[in-house]
Amino acid sequence: MLGSRTIVPIDPLLNDTDAASVVDLCIHFGRYRTYGELEPIEIPEGPGLVQRHDSVMNFVNTGGLHRAAETPRTLAARTSYFREEYAYGGELIAPDIAPFLFSSRLADAARVVHGRSVVEPQIAYANLMVPGQELAVHTDVPEFRGVSRKTVPQWLLVVMHHSGLFDQYRMHIATGIAWFSDLVGGALAYWPDGPAGPMVHHPIHTNTALVLDTDSVFHGVDRVSPVSADAMPPLRPGCGLRAEGDRWIVRGPDDAVLADYRWSELRLSVSWKAYCFASEADRDTWRAHADDLTLDAILETLCADLSERRGERVERDEHLGLALIDEYIRFPVVTPA
């Protein structure tokens, strides 16, 4: 079994004042970029692969949660949602996020999810989605001692976790997904019993959260509200979303207005991530980099395991990346509603 399947609901998450200040922060933060705007880290074993090649391929091949046969341009518009960080590495980027980042309810839930007592909150980021958008099924990008999304490709980190070969180096991350919108659509779709089990839809309500191991539990987001392919604005990486007066405006890379929305049409979730350690000694090993992985050791281990599974020598060449994604990441099958 991959990771933890324990899921802890929190309702309410914050007191009314702190919940209102999260919404206020979101509105006044400024411009939100699209997720996926950053250039991917490339390695010779996977030239040309995008950051989340695993979930993008699965989305394009299956049509996502709605199994829609749409053009790549429409699929890009549906999944180019907006994200900015409010805290990173335990440091506040936006001071008003402090009650959220250091919420004792989130920390207590994280202890339950991983059964580990030492919890270090690391990250808070906002995801904003507009009508017609959805989030492709995926597991989150995990971390291991010595490697993170800052140093190796995201798809490789996901492969590493799904392979189970690097568990002794894995950072146990608990994720709290908190919602600050009340919408009929945009439910969290997830597979609490693993990819072979049923898909569950969790409706979203403002100031509530679920805390779980999103590195291990497959999840996505149902469409925020129905918008036909023809009516989708050409959202794509490079677009930006910002509150201007009482409207939310999407502008393209050339600053031209592509769409505008009311606040009540948007879906705001704020995600919280914390490292969970079994002990202070466990945390100190991570801090001291006393037992870190290297990229070379990772690829050698994966190559050897794949060779054994196939019963023939697999070369460490430019085809390895796709072969690893194909072998180790088994997505759930979305059945028609």
Q: Which residues contact Fe ion by CB under 5 A?
A: 140, 214
Nearer to Fe ion by Cβ, of 130 and 210: the residue is 210
Return the closest-CA partner of residue 21 out of 124, 122, 90, 107: 124
**Shortest Å, Cβ 221 to Fe ion:** 9
Query: What's the rounded Cα separation, in Å, for the pair 290 and 298?
Result: 17
Residue 79: phi, psi to the nearest 5?
-110, 0
Cis omega before residue 12 (within 30°)? yes
**Shortest Å, Cβ 219 to Fe ion:** 6
Query: What's the rounded Cα separation, in Å, for the pair 49 and 295?
Result: 17
Please report the sign of the dihedral spanned by the C-alpha atoms of residue 172, residue 138, residue 183, residue 204. negative
What single-letter amino acid sits at 246?
D
318 strand-pairing partners:
none
**Shortest Å, Cβ 138 to Fe ion:** 6
336: three-class secondary structure by DSSP: coil
**Shortest Å, Cβ 177 to Fe ion:** 8
Quick one: tokens of 266? 């948007």
Helix H or strand E encompassing 173: strand 172-179
Nearer to Fe ion by Cβ, of 83 and 116: the residue is 83
Nearer to Fe ion by Cβ, of 29 and 190: the residue is 190
Helix H or strand E encompassing 242: strand 240-244
**Shortest Å, Cβ 134 to Fe ion:** 13
Return the closest-CA partner of residue 96 out of 47, 27, 156: 27
95: three-class secondary structure by DSSP: helix
Contact in structure between 271 and 84 (CB atoms under 8 Å): no
Contact in structure between 131 and 35 (CB atoms under 8 Å): no
Query: What's the rounded Cα separation, in Å, for the pair 263 and 255?
Result: 21
Query: What's the rounded Cα separation, in Å, for the pair 82 and 238?
Result: 10
**Shortest Å, Cβ 225 to Fe ion:** 20
Contact in structure between 258 and 248 (CB atoms under 8 Å): no
**Shortest Å, Cβ 213 to Fe ion:** 11
Measured from each CB, the residue nearest to Fe ion is: 140
**Shortest Å, Cβ 294 to Fe ion:** 27
